[in-house]
Amino acid sequence: MKPNKKFIVAAGIVALIAIPLVIKAMRGESSKEMDIAAAAAQEIRPTILASGVLATSTRST
C-alpha cells in the first residue's frame, strides 16, 4: 500500500470516530445520572417469583 493510501485510510478511520463525538459535543447532551451503592453481602434466595404455566414434555426422542 502506498503511503498516500495509508494516510487516506487512517484519516477515514479517525473521521469515523471523531464525527459522532463532535456532533454529540455540539448538541450539548448531558450525561445521565447514576446511583452508586457500595458492595455488600446479601442473602441469595433459591426461589423465583413468576407467573405462567409450567409444562413438561412427555415425548421421548
pLDDT in tens, 49-58: 888 887 887 7
Among 19, 35, 38, smallest CA distance to 27 is for: 19
Residues 43, 55: Cα–Cα separation, whole Å: 30
Q: Between the CA of residue 23 and those of 12, 17, 33, 37, what are the distances in Å?
A: 17, 11, 21, 32
Q: Does 28 or 45 have the greater pLDDT score?
A: 45
Instruction: Please give the model's pTM, rounded to 2 decimal places.
Output: 0.40
pLDDT digits (tens, 9 = 90+) for 15-38: 999 998 888 888 876 667 888 889
Provide the phi-psi class of 51: left if phi over 0, else alpha when psi is between -120 and 50, else beta: beta
